[in-house]
């Protein structure tokens, strides 16, 4: 409950100009993954620290689901005034119940898991005016897609 209370006090995003290649290359040494090229060259506007936390949580979950680092792929594409961040893995995947509850606080299928990693990622993306979609991948694993608007205006992925 203390963890969720901290989650509920998530600060409002402090938007700044960020270049995706710089952000992803800063995260890469912390939890290894593959960066899909090409990355957008233009600057985007979001809270660097919060989006870095989203990437860390998603990549860490992919690794904990049994995906090798070479099979954890992070990609970013630009849409008009928004970025679409996708993290794909080849881990164990999720059954229907897990997919339906994955973004809820305290829901975890991992022994010793807190159930806060995906919930926090979802809260951060929501605070940016975006949304998160989780889907199964053909051949195993999952894909998590986050729409991150530049100006805080929501949309769909």
Read off the pLDDT of residues 78-114 as tens digits, 9 standing for 90 and up: 998 899 999 999 998 888 887 776 776 655 555 555 5
Place of tokens 């022994």: 111
Question: Distance (Å, rounded) from C-alpha 77 to C-alpha 20?
Answer: 10
Is 19 buried (19+), middle (13-18) or exposed (0-12) by CB count in 10 A?
Answer: middle
- The pTM score is 0.85
Read off the pLDDT of residues 52-86 as tens digits, 9 standing for 90 and up: 999 999 999 999 889 999 999 999 999 988 999 99
């Amino acid at each position: 409950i203390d963890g969720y209370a901290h989650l509920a006090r998530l600060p409002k995003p402090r938007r700044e100009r960020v270049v995706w290649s710089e952000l992803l290359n800063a995260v890469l040494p912390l939890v290894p993954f593959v960066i899909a090229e090409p990355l957008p060259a233009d600057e985007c506007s979001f809270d660097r620290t919060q989006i870095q936390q989203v990437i860390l949580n998603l990549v860490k979950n992919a690794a904990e689901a049994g995906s090798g680092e070479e099979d954890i792929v992070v990609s970013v594409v630009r849409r008009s005034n928004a970025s679409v961040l996708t993290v794909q893995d080849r881990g164990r995947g999720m059954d229907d119940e897990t997919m339906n509850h994955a973004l809820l606080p305290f829901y975890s299928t991992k022994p010793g898991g807190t159930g806060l990693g995906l919930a926090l990622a979802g809260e951060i993306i929501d605070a940016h005016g975006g949304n998160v979609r989780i889907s199964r991948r053909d051949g195993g694993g999952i894909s998590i897609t986050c729409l991150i608007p530049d100006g805080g205006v929501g949309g769909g992925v």
